[in-house]
Structure 1
Amino acid sequence: MKAQQLKNAILQLAIQGKLVPQDPNDEPASELLCKIQAEKDRLIAEGKIKKKQKNCR
């Protein structure tokens, strides 16, 4: 197997989540994103960070 083929095979396995055993205790990405958004909202409400303004283009 050539180096490029090996690299592509490893990348494909990584994308499929097959390089390491999956942890059944891991939460879905959607739950993690909700937690991050809640933490961000809390920090904005406390004045610790500023709300990012959307740029119009």
Structure 2
Amino acid sequence: MGAKLLDHLDQANLAKAFRGELVPQDPNDEPASVLLERICAARAKQPKDTRKGRGKTANAKVAA
């Protein structure tokens, strides 16, 4: 296969993925908004000292 054809197929698959057309949709799946609410509620219940932060970024300079 040519590189252009592969690139076109990659773009087509990516577009289908964003439209949710790659697999059949399950009507029993909960909406993302409900999942996000559950995550926020669970995080709010955690004590602040046990929450994990992002830490330092990869670009942070280390003192020598």
Percent identity over paired residues: 43
User: Which segments of structure 1 move beyond 6 Å, counting only runs of 4 or more?
Assistant: none
Q: Tell me what 2:8 maps to.
A: 5
TM-score (norm 2): 0.67
Answer yes or no: is 1:35 the counterpart of 2:33. Answer: no
**How many aligned positions are there?**
50
Q: Tell me what 2:20 maps to.
A: 17
Contiguous gaps of at least 5 residues in structure 2: 54-64
Deviation of 1:10 (Å): 0.3
Deviations 1:1-57 (A, max 9, x none): 70000000000000000000101011111110000000001113xx5624x7xxxxx
What is the root-mean-square deviation of aligned Cα atoms in Å? 2.2
State which structure, 1 or 2, has the greater radius of gyration over its C-alpha atoms.
2
